[in-house]
Amino acid sequence: DIQMTQSPSSLSASVGGRVTLTCRASQTISTYLNWYQQKPGKAPKLLIYGASTLQSGVPSRFSGSGSGTDFTLTISSLQPEDFAIYYCQQTYSIPWTFGQGTKVEIK
Amino acid sequence: QLQLQESGPGLVRPSETLSLTCSVSGGSISSSSYYWGWIRQPPGEGLEWIGSVYYTGRTSDNPSLKSRVTMSVDTSKNQFSLRLSSVTAADAAVYYCARLQWLLSPVYFDYWGQGTLVTVSS
């Protein structure tokens, strides 16, 4: 199975700040990488697919980059509604696997 | 707007079979563009893909569940189902159903149900 490792596991940031989350795959996955946002008690929400394609309706302050084994999710100007847990997922090979998540908290 | 809704018992006894159904509204489960999947999340933990099913009944599942998974589709009811046999406390989780976009690479889950909590206890 491909292991997905996210870092940091949590971070504190201020509204308006820029944050970068990292996801690393245990083997190359090309750009078969998706990012999801999950708020407490809610289902995950797709933000980015294919490493860098913004899902329809997702604010442009979210962006993704990377290929191979290293990927990043950047929030350019953190908004109050962005405080959540973010998960990466690889769909390069079955079983599709998720990272353990990065919790973004208010500073 | 597509909506998915999980339903099923919230409590399952150890060694028994967990059965859940996902009802899809606002779209057809028979679309050739999508698979339909199950993902679970133990309380306070991360996400685990369980498996996915196509409207024809073709399935793909996570080998870690050691063949305990059965998935099916009922196109007449626009529903799909999950059965997980021989459950243990480790199977306690929030179970989500979701739509899987697979026609264009890469695949991703774009619509999710709200999730249903399943507890395993005697």
Mutate to test the interface with A, among B2, B48, B108, B117 (most CBs of A within 10 A): B108
Identify the bridge partners of residue A89 per DSSP, sorted by sequence position: A34, A98
For residues A23-31, give the mean pLDDT: 97
For residues A49-72, give the mean pLDDT: 97
Which among A32, A44, A94 has the least Cβ separation from residue B106? A32
pLDDT for residue A84 = 97
Confidence of residue A60 (pLDDT cuts 50, 70, 90): very high
Identify the bridge partners of residue B57 per DSSP, sorted by sequence position: none
d(CA B107, CA A25): 17
Please determine, for residue B106, whether its predicted confidence score (pLDDT) is greater than 90.
Answer: no
For residues A16-26, give the mean pLDDT: 97
Name the residue in chain B with its Cα closest to that of A88. B47
ω into B14 cis (within 30 of 0) = no
> Taking CB atoms and an 8 Å cutoff, what residues of chain A touch B115?
43
Cβ(A73)–Cβ(A88) under 8 Å?
yes
Mutate to test the interface with A, among B45, B101, B109 (most CBs of A within 10 A): B109
Q: Report the greatest alpha carbon distance in chain B.
A: 44
For residues B78-88, give the mean pLDDT: 98
Contact with chain A for residue B63, Cβ under 8 A: yes
For residues B85-90, give the mean pLDDT: 97
Cβ(A38)–Cβ(A53) under 8 Å?
no
Residues 6+ apart with CB under 8 A from B74: B80, B81
Average pLDDT, chain B: 96
Judged by average pLDDT, the poorest of A8-17, B9-18, B32-41, B96-105 is B96-105
Please determine, for residue A106, whether its predicted confidence score (pLDDT) is greater than 90.
Answer: no
d(CA B97, CA B51): 10
Residue B56: which of B84, B83, B36, B27 has the closest Cα?
B36
Residue B109: which of B119, B120, B101 has the closest Cα?
B101
pLDDT for residue A94 = 95
> Taking CB atoms and an 8 Å cutoff, what residues of chain B touch A32?
105-107
Return the DSSP state at B107: P
pLDDT for residue A107 = 87
Q: Buried b / exposed e across B26-59, counting CB within 10 Å, b at 16+?
A: ebebeeeebbbbbbbbeeeebbbbbbbbbbeeee
Q: What is the 3-state secondary structure (H, E, C) of A34-102?
A: EEEEECCCCCCEEEEECCCEECCCCCCCEEEEEECCEEEEEECCCCHHHCCEEEEEECCCCCCEECCCE
Which among A1, A43, A98 has the least Cβ separation from residue B113? A43
For residues B57-84, give the mean pLDDT: 95
